[in-house]
C-alpha cells in the first residue's frame, strides 16, 4: 500500500508542477500554443509513466490489480481535462484544430513543439524519480528502465490499425461533443479514452495469442486490416469526389492529392500486404505463397472490404456535415462506378491492371523509400485516366465494396469488368515480364535463357596426342 501512496503523491506533485508552469507560461502571449500545451503534455506523460509502472511492476511487486490502474487512468484523464483548459497534450487534436481552421499554422506548430517538449521533460523527470527508489516497485522499475519492454505487442500493421481505430472513435466523439459543456464533455471523454485503452490492451493480447497459434492465417491477418484501411478511405474519398464538389466546394485537386497521400500511407503501414486480390494471385502464380495462404489472403481482403463498407454506412448515418448527410441519403440508391459498356470497362480495367502490375514487378526488389511513392503515384495517375470509364479501381475487393451493390448492371457484368478485367491484365503483365507463368509452366516462351559466359571445352586425348607429334 505504501507504493500506491507514493504514486498518488507523485500524481499530486505533477499536477501542482503543471499548474505552476501553466500560470507562468500564460504570460507569453506570442507562444500561446506552446505555453498551453507544454504543461498539459508534461502532466499527461508524467502520470502515464507512473501508471505504466503500476501496470507492469505493481501487479506482482505491489499487489495492485488492473482495477487500480483503470480507476487511476480515468481519474487522471478527468483531472487533466479540467486543468488543461482547452489544451490536449495530443498532437492529433492540434492537427485536427488546424484542419478545422481553428488555429493558425504558427500556433499549431508552437503547440506541437510544446507537446513534444513536455513529453521529453516528463520522461526525464520520471527517470530521476525512479532513481530515488522510494519503494520496492520503483527500485525494480529503475533497474528495468534501461531495458524496457515495447508497448507494441503485435505486428506493425495490426498496431497501426488498432491505433487508427481508437483515434477514429476518440476524435469522432470529440467532434460530437466540442460544443457541449465541460461538465459533460470532460468525464465522457475520459471514460471513452479509458475504455478504448482497456479494449486495445485486451484485444491486442487476445489477437497476439490467437495469431501466434494460428500461423496458418498469416495471410488473413495481414490482408484484412490492409483491405479495411484502403476500402474505408476510398468510401470517404468517393464521397468527396461525388458530393464534395458541389456540397463542400472541393475541387478534383483535393481528391487527387488525398488519394496519393492515402496510397503512400497505406503502402508504408501495410508492409507487404496489398489489400488487392490480383496482387495475391500474382504472388500465387509466382510460387511465392502456398494455395492456403493465398486463399486466406483473399478471404481477409473481401472481409476487410465488407467491414469497411459497414463502418462507412454507420459513419454516414451520424451526418457530421452537410456532405455526409447528403451521402447518407444517396447511399441507398448509389450510382455505378461503371460509366461505359461492359467490354470497354473490362478493357479499361485490364489496361490499368496491366501497367500497375508491370511496374510492381519491376520495383519488387527496390527499397520501400523508392517503391511506395512511385507505386502510389502510378495508381493515382491510372485512376485519374480511367475515372470517366470505370473510376479506375483495378482491385476486385475494392470494386466489390464500392459499386457491386449499385443498380444499373448485373453481378455477372460487374464481375466481368472489375474481376475478369484486372485478373487478365495482371496475367498478361506477368507473362510479358517473366516470359512464363511459374505456377502453370516453367518453359520460357518469350526470352531465351542463353548463358552470358562461354564455358571452355575440355581437351580430348586425341587433341593432346596430335600436339605431341607436332612437337
pTM of the predicted protein model: 0.54
- Report d(CA 20, CA 436) in Å as an integer: 72
Which pLDDT score is estimated for 348? 95
My answer on whether 180 and 276 are in the same domain is no
Which pLDDT score is estimated for 27? 61
Whether residue 308 lies inside any domain: the answer is: yes
Q: Which CATH number does the domain housing residue 256 bear?
A: 1.20.1080.10
Which pLDDT score is estimated for 263? 92
Tell me the residue range of the domain where 27 lies: 1-145
My answer on whether 140 and 252 are in the same domain is no
Q: Where are the alpha helices (DSSP H) in 26-104?
A: 32-56, 58-61, 66-84, 91-99
- Report d(CA 235, CA 337) in Å as an integer: 12
Instruction: Show the cell assigned to 178.
Output: 466540442
My answer on whether 111 and 54 are in the same domain is yes
Instruction: Show the cell assigned to 340.
Output: 461505359
Domain final residue, candidates 196, 213, 230: 213
Q: What percent of the chain has pLDDT over 90?
A: 26
My answer on whether 199 and 225 are in the same domain is no
Which pLDDT score is estimated for 84? 75
Report pLDDT digits (tens) over 162-188. 788 888 888 888 888 777 777 777 787
What does DSSP assign to residue 261? H
My answer on whether 190 and 56 are in the same domain is no
Report pLDDT digits (tens) over 393-446. 999 999 999 999 888 899 999 999 999 999 999 999 999 999 889 988 888 888
Whether residue 440 lies inside any domain: the answer is: no
My answer on whether 285 and 429 are in the same domain is yes
Select from 400, 398, 402 the least CA-distant residue to 379: 398
My answer on whether 198 and 266 are in the same domain is no
Whether residue 365 lies inside any domain: the answer is: yes
Domain final residue, candidates 97, 114, 145: 145
My answer on whether 137 and 125 are in the same domain is yes
Whether residue 466 lies inside any domain: the answer is: no
My answer on whether 197 and 268 are in the same domain is no
My answer on whether 291 and 310 are in the same domain is yes
| CA atoms within 13 Å, Cβ hemisphere of 372 | 17
Question: How does DSSP assign 106-118, residue by residue?
Answer: HHHHHHHHHHHHH
Which pLDDT score is estimated for 131? 84
Whether residue 445 lies inside any domain: the answer is: no
Select from 83, 308, 93, 62 the least CA-distant residue to 193: 93
My answer on whether 58 and 39 are in the same domain is yes
My answer on whether 121 and 259 are in the same domain is no
Whether residue 462 lies inside any domain: the answer is: no
Q: How many domains does the chain have?
A: 3
Query: Using alpha carbons only, what angle is made at residue 105 by residues 101 and 109, rounded to the nearest 5 degrees?
Result: 125
Which pLDDT score is estimated for 353? 95
Residues of the chain falling short of pLDDT 70: 1-4, 7, 11, 22, 25-31, 58-65, 146, 154, 200-217, 246-249, 449-471
Amino acid at each position: 500500500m505504501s507504493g500506491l501512496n507514493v504514486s498518488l503523491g507523485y500524481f499530486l506533485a505533477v499536477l501542482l508542477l503543471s499548474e505552476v508552469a501553466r500560470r507562468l507560461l500564460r504570460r507569453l502571449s506570442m507562444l500561446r500554443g506552446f505555453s498551453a500545451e507544454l504543461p498539459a503534455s508534461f502532466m499527461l506523460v508524467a502520470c502515464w509513466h507512473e501508471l505504466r509502472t503500476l501496470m507492469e511492476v505493481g501487479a506482482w511487486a505491489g499487489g495492485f490489480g488492473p482495477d487500480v490502474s483503470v480507476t487511476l487512468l480515468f481519474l487522471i484523464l478527468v483531472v487533466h481535462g479540467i486543468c488543461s483548459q482547452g489544451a490536449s497534450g495530443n498532437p492529433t487534436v492540434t492537427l485536427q484544430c488546424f484542419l478545422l481552421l481553428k488555429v493558425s499554422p504558427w500556433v499549431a506548430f508552437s503547440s506541437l513543439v510544446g507537446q513534444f517538449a513536455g513529453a521529453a521533460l516528463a520522461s526525464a523527470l520520471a527517470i530521476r524519480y525512479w532513481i530515488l527508489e522510494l519503494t520496492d516497485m520503483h527500485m525494480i522499475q529503475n533497474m528495468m528502465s534501461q531495458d524496457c519492454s515495447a508497448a507494441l505487442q503485435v505486428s506493425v500493421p495490426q498496431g497501426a490499425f488498432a491505433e487508427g481505430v481508437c483515434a477514429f472513435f476518440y476524435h469522432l466523439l470529440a467532434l460530437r461533443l466540442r460544443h457541449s459543456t465541460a461538465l459533460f464533455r470532460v468525464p465522457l471523454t475520459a471514460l471513452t479514452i479509458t475504455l478504448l485503452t482497456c479494449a486495445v490492451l485486451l484485444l491486442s493480447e487476445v489477437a497476439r495469442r490467437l495469431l501466434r497459434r494460428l500461423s496458418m492465417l498469416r495471410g488473413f491477418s495481414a490482408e484484412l486490416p490492409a483491405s479495411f484501411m484502403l476500402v474505408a478511405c476510398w468510401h470517404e474519398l468517393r464521397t468527396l469526389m461525388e458530393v464534395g464538389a458541389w456540397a463542400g466546394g472541393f475541387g478534383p485537386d483535393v481528391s487527387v492529392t488525398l488519394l496519393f497521400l492515402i496510397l503512400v500511407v497505406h503502402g508504408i503501414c501495410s508492409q507487404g500486404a496489398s489489400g488487392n486480390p490480383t496482387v495475391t494471385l500474382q504472388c500465387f502464380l509466382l510460387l511465392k505463397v502456398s494455395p492456403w495462404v493465398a486463399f486466406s489472403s483473399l478471404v481477409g481482403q473481401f472481409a476487410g472490404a465488407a467491414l469497411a463498407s459497414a463502418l462507412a454506412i454507420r459513419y454516414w448515418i451520424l451526418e457530421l456535415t452537410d456532405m455526409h448527410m447528403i451521402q447518407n441519403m444517396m447511399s441507398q440508391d448509389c450510382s455505378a462506378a461503371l460509366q461505359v459498356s461492359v467490354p470497354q470497362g473490362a478493357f479499361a480495367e485490364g489496361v490499368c491492371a496491366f501497367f500497375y502490375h508491370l511496374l510492381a514487378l519491376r520495383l519488387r526488389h527496390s527499397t520501400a523509400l523508392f517503391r511506395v511513392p512511385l507505386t502510389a503515384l502510378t495508381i493515382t495517375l491510372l485512376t485519374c485516366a480511367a475515372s470517366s470509364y470505370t473510376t479506375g479501381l483495378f482491385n476486385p475487393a475494392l470494386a466489390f465494396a464500392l459499386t457491386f451493390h449499385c443498380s444499373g448492371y448485373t453481378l455477372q457484368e460487374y464481375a466481368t469488368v472489375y474481376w475478369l478485367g484486372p485478373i487478365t491484365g495482371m496475367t498478361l503483365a506477368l507473362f510479358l515480364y517473366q516470359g512464363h507463368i511459374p505456377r502453370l509452366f516453367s518453359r520460357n516462351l518469350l526470352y531465351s535463357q542463353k548463358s552470358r559466359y562461354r564455358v571452355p571445352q575440355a581437351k580430348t586425348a586425341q587433341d593432346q596426342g596430335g600436339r605431341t607429334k607436332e612437337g
